[in-house]
Amino acid sequence: MKSLLRRMHPHRLASTFIILGALSSGILIGSVAVRGVHGKEAAIDSSDATQLKIPDPVNLSTTFTQIAKQVGPAVVNINTETLPAQDSHSRRRHGAVPTPPDGNDQNGDQGQDDGGPDQNFQDFFNRFFGQGPGSDQGSDQVRDSLGSGFIVDPHGYILTNNHVVEKADRIFVKLSTDPEGFQGRAGTVVGVDKDTDLAVVKINSTEPLPTVKMGNSDAAQVGDWVIAIGSPFALSQTVTAGIVSAKNRTIEQGPAGQFQHFIQTDAAINPGNSGGPLVNMAGQVIGVNTAIYTQSAGYQGVGFAMPANTVISVYNDLIGPSHKVVRGSIGIQFQPALSPAVGRVYGFKSGVMVNMVTPHGPADLAGIKAGDIITSVDGKPVKDGDALVNVISARRPGTTVELGFLRGGQKQTATLTIADRAKLYGSQPSGESGENNQESAPNAAQAKLGIDVEAVPQSLASRGIHGVLISQVKPGSFGDETMLAPGLVITEMNKQPITSIDQFQSLVAALKSGQDVVFRVVDSRSPQAGGTYLGGTLP
Residues marked active site are found at 163, 197, 274
Cβ proximity of 250 and 389 under 8 Å: no
Closest of 272, 264, 278, 270 to residue 294, by C-alpha:
270
Amino acid type, 81: E
Closest of 175, 186, 182, 172 to residue 73, by C-alpha:
175
How far are the Cα atoms of 77, 87, 143, 157, 188 from residue 81, in angstroms, in the given order?
A: 14, 12, 6, 20, 13
How far are the Cα atoms of 91, 102, 236, 279, 289 from residue 226, in angstroms, in the given order?
A: 41, 34, 18, 5, 12
User: For 273, what's the count of Cα atoms within 13 Å in the CB-facing half-sphere?
Assistant: 27
Pairing of strands 213-214, 284-292: parallel
Amino acid type, 230: G
Cα gap 317→335, rounded to integer Å = 28
Cα gap 148→238, rounded to integer Å = 11
Cα gap 294→128, rounded to integer Å = 11
Amino acid type, 241: A
Cα gap 464→325, rounded to integer Å = 35
How far are the Cα atoms of 40, 71, 151, 159, 345 from residue 305, in angstroms, in the given order?
A: 64, 17, 17, 13, 39
Cβ proximity of 473 and 481 under 8 Å: no
Q: 4 by DSSP, 3-state: which?
A: helix
Cα gap 200→220, rounded to integer Å = 24
Neighbours of 294 (CB within 10 A): 19
Cβ proximity of 339 and 536 under 8 Å: yes
Based on DSSP, count helices (H) and strands (E) in the chain, helices before strands.
13, 28
Cα gap 450→412, rounded to integer Å = 38
Q: How would DSSP label each residue in 276-321?
A: -EEE-TTSEEEEEEEEEB-SSSS--S-EEEEEHHHHHHHHHHHTST
Cβ proximity of 340 and 537 under 8 Å: no
User: Would you put residue 345 in left (φ > 0), alpha (ψ -120 to 50) or beta?
Assistant: alpha
End-to-end Cα, the chain, rounded Å: 84
Q: 211 by DSSP, 3-state: which?
A: coil
Q: What are the start-end ranges of the H helices in 123-194?
A: 162-165
CA 524 to mean position of chain CA atoms: 29
